Structure formats: structure tokens, C-alpha cells
Amino acid sequence: MKFNITILLIIFFGLPNLMLSQGNVVIGKIDSVPSSILGENRKLMIHVPNDGSNSKTFPVVYLLDGGDHFTSVVGMIEHLSNNSLIPKMMVVAIPNTNRTRDLTPTKAEINPPMVPKGISEQSGGGKNFLNFMEHELFPYIEKNYPTSTYRMFIGHSFGGLLVMDALFDKPELFTGYISIDPSMWWDNKKLLKGYKNSNLRDDKYDNKALYMGIANTLEEGMDTTTVKAAKGPMVDHINSIFETRDVLRNTKTSAIKFKSKYYENDNHGSATLITTYDGLLFLFEFYQFEVKFADVMAPNTDIVNRMKTHYSKVTKILGYENKPDERMINGMGYQLMEMDKHDLAKQFFEMNIDYYPKSFNVYDSLGDYYLAVDNKEKAKANFKKALDIEENPTSRQKYEELKSD
């Protein structure tokens, strides 16, 4: 069935994936999970994509400092996924109860001004918090929500420190990591020293990916070169991140897929948005597939086979079936017919049948192809298949006209 291509592109790329409820725009729900590990009930803010399917599962983003970052992260994911740059994803945001306790992996000694007595006394519960996530939060989410096996972890500052600790100590918990200006100075750079002294080419780090954003926290008059020679608490934060970056950049000693960026125009607070945005695009580079004009114009193009290979790879990584949007492939088929690329159009229509065998529309479209090449018998057979799946006036009219010929 032919769609207006302009309308098709608006439908496929342009509509926000929001849920409307009683006149309100709703991007998620409040839930909670009781934790015997933490000894408290933990509030959750959860976004589930509204894609109209009851059977589909989604990758899950676990987001620290959830009360601060839930709306912005959901918005970014919605925007990028609506433009087919990343998959649609669930977001499980965890608001804080005792941030210092939960997000610091070790108990640090009192060391003003960075670690005053109050901070020191509360610190060191990060390992316990990761145990809560692994043994209580994950099972609860996976039992009650449509999750796939792909998990991502996002954190900022102390949260970024915990993200780095999870990658280092328990890489099996997540596949993708975004660490935003992490506090790698914590506890006399204990975690940083762990990275420096460990075998980051161990098999447990295979297929793990990390994006790290570095904010501009330089003192006045310093630059990224001169700061490395400076000492003291005012430069320890940024220097410790640069040191961590250098360890992870060394592909001879690290198997982790890694990228970082220094955001010269962003401070510790503003770097959260742009780091998350860039991190999502980096972690899902494998997801994107662009059909270029040269792909369809090349003689004997293998674009259809490459698309099938691509979506098979994405399916394997994300842990659930991935396939191109039915309407997009349908629209491309009709565009190719208008360009007199009939053989390639047929391949696109047949690929749609492979992916969507229960859709009447894919057979109707293949029927239109056979009409265009004047094969009325095969056109009639495909319109009949469309009608066998679902009675619809468009296929019915074409089928009856062919019967009466």
C-alpha cells in the first residue's frame, strides 16, 4: 500500500513518543522497591517507551541522581530514538536518599576541604548499593517490566565515580557506561590506582564500552597542559580524570571500548547534558544504519543484504529482535519504483515480507510492484494474500479489478 512519502517521514521520524493521560503529558511513572540490603524502600522513576507493542522488550538505562536527571535523559533518548540513532529504551532513575553513602565505593579519611568529617563518616556504601542493584533492583525491574538483556549505567560526579567502580569491579552488570566528570580523586585516587594496576585486557572487559565526559574545572589562568604540573585539592579533580582517561586510552593495556571528551565550555554542572547526549551516540554507533543515495544507485548493489546483516548484529548485541521499520522499507520501495529501480524495489518489498509476514500491507505493496512490471497474476496472488491476512478496501479494490480482467 503506497504512503505519501512526506507524511511517511513525518510519521516515522517526527512524532514524539509521549503518553497522554487526562490532558497531561506523561513520560513515566513512580514505583518503588523494598531493599533489605539498604534497609529502606527505594523510590524509582521509570520510563517505558510507548511503541504500541505488548511483546517488545527494551534495553534499560539505570540512572543515578534520578531526581535531577530523569526528565532530561528521557527527553534525549526519545529524541534520538525517534530519529533512529539509538534504540527505544527504558529508563530506571534512582533518586537519592543518602547520596554520599550510596555513591562512594570506599570510606575515605577526613581530608578537608574535599572530605570534611561529615562526608567521611557517611561514605563508603557504594559496594552495598551495587549489591542492591544486582540482587534486588534488577530482579524487580526484569520481573515487572519489558526488559532486554542490555543494561546501561549513567552517573555524574560521585555517580560517575560509582559508574567507574562498577565497570572496574563488576563489569558483568552492564554493557554500556556513561561517566560524567567522575570524582576519581576520591579516597586518595584509590579507584584510579586500581585501574592503573589491573589487567584491563581481561576477558571480563570484552564488549564493554565507556564514554567519559570531562568538565572544565580549571582554575583561572590554567589550561589542560599547565594543570598537570599543579598540585592540591583544586586541581586533583580534573587531573585525576585526565589520568584515568590516559589509562583507558591505551589500547595495548585495555580492552574496553572507550571514548572521552573534554568540554571546554561546560562546567561540572552543565556537562551532564552534553556528555549524556554524546555518550548515547557513541555507545550506539553499532545501531545506526543509513541508506545513502550511492547505495541504491550503484549497479548490483548489496544494500539489502547489508541491511539484513546489520539488523542481525544489532539483534545479537541488544538481546531482542531488531528490524527496520515496516513503513520506512515500504516507502523506500515505492521511491525506488518511481526511480525506475524496479529490481531493487522488489528486494525491499520482499525483505519487508521476511520481517513482517503477518502484515497485509507488505503483500499489498509487493502486489503493486507486480502491477508496475505488468505481472498481473502475481499481483493478484499478493493482493489475495493481503486480504487473507486482513480485509481492507485498498487490496480488495485492486484484487477485484484484476479478477474482472
Question: What value does the mean pLDDT take over residues 340-345?
Answer: 95
pLDDT of 21 reads: 55
Per-residue pLDDT tens for 121-170?
A: 999 999 999 999 999 999 999 999 999 999 999 999 999 999 999 999 99
Helix, strand and coil percent figures for the chain, each rounded to 5: 50, 15, 30
Per-residue pLDDT tens for 392-402?
A: 999 999 999 99
Nearest to 383 by CA among 343, 371, 3: 371
Per-residue pLDDT tens for 213-272?
A: 999 999 888 889 999 888 888 899 999 999 999 999 988 889 999 999 999 999 999 999
CATH dotted code for 5-287: 3.40.50.1820
How far, in Å, are 14, 50, 84, 86 from residue 28 at the CA level?
A: 20, 10, 21, 19
DSSP 181: S
Distance CA 41, CA 136 (A): 11
Question: What value does the mean pLDDT take over residues 62-80?
Answer: 97
Q: Does domain 294-404 have CATH number 1.25.40.10?
A: yes
23 compared with 174, residue with greater pLDDT: 174
Nearest to 319 by CA among 56, 74, 79, 46: 56
Distance CA 252, CA 353 (A): 45
pLDDT of 19 reads: 53
How far, in Å, are 20, 26, 63, 146, 231 from residue 155 at the CA level?
A: 29, 24, 6, 23, 26
Distance CA 154, CA 272 (A): 10
Instruction: Work out the burial of residue 165: count CB atoms within 10 Å of its CB; fewer than 13 is exposed, 13-18 middle, 19 or more buried.
Output: buried
Q: Which residues contact 80 (CB under 8 A, 6 or more apart)?
A: 86, 277, 280, 281
pLDDT of 393 reads: 96
pLDDT of 83 reads: 86
Kind of pairing between the strands at 58-63 and 147-156: parallel
How far, in Å, are 12, 33, 76, 182, 318 from residue 123 at the CA level?
A: 47, 23, 32, 16, 35
Asked if pLDDT for residue 54 goes beyond 70, the answer is no
Question: What value does the mean pLDDT take over residues 322-339?
Answer: 92
pLDDT of 9 reads: 34
Distance CA 49, CA 27 (A): 9
Percentage of the chain exceeding pLDDT 90: 79
DSSP 2: P
> Could you give the 3-state DSSP secondary structure of residue 146?
coil
Q: Which residues contact 261 (CB under 8 A, 6 or more apart)?
A: 212, 213, 214, 275, 278
What average pLDDT is seen over the chain? 91
Cβ atoms within 10 Å of 3's Cβ, excluding its own: 16
Q: Which residues contact 112 (CB under 8 A, 6 or more apart)?
A: none
Do residues 119 and 130 touch, judged by C-beta distance below 8 A? no
pLDDT of 3 reads: 45
Q: Which residues contact 167 (CB under 8 A, 6 or more apart)?
A: 153, 174, 177, 179, 208, 210, 256
Per-residue pLDDT tens for 3-25?
A: 443 333 333 333 344 455 567 88
In single-letter form, the type of residue at position 239 comes to N
User: Residue 53: which pLDDT band, with cuts at 50, 70 and 90?
Assistant: low
Sequence ranges of the domains in the chain:
5-287, 294-404
Asked if pLDDT for residue 311 goes beyond 90, the answer is yes
Distance CA 55, CA 52 (A): 9
Do residues 221 and 173 touch, judged by C-beta distance below 8 A? no
Dig out the grid coordinates for 126 from the structure. Answer: 557504594
| Phi, psi values for residue 127, rounded to 5° | -65, -40
pLDDT of 5 reads: 39
> Could you give the 3-state DSSP secondary structure of residue 45?
strand
Distance CA 383, CA 200 (A): 58
